[in-house]
Amino acid sequence: MRPRPHTGDPVVNMVHALKTQQGLACYGQRKCSVEPVFGVIKPIMGFRQFSLRGLQATSDEWKLVALAYNLKRMHVLAAG
């Protein structure tokens, strides 16, 4: 296998990484689905719509929902 190219071009770096076993394994982990996250946030946590208006306000509200989800997930993982 050729050594990694010394370039700042992300395309060249990605092409090289995908030709290695380690690069393929790492990239393969990105193929997981995010649908289960929304499956928890909507029915279990009860978040169906935003309460606030405006891009900044809804962005902040979503960050709060994501924080709550992550804290809940960390609690479950720590207990198990």
Tell me the CA distances in angstroms from 44 to 47, 71, 72, one per residue in order: 8, 14, 11
Mean pLDDT of 39-59: 94
| Torsion region of 2: left, alpha or beta (phi above 0 gives left; psi -120 to 50 gives alpha) | beta
Q: Considering the entire predicted model, what is its pTM? A: 0.58
Does the structure show a pLDDT above 80 at 69?
Answer: yes
Beta carbons of 69 and 37 less than 8 angstroms apart: yes
Q: Rounded to a whole number, what is the distance in angstroms from the first to the last CA of the chain?
A: 42
Please state the domain extents for the chain: 1-32, 33-80
For the chain, the farthest-separated pair of C-alpha atoms sits apart, in whole angstroms, at 55
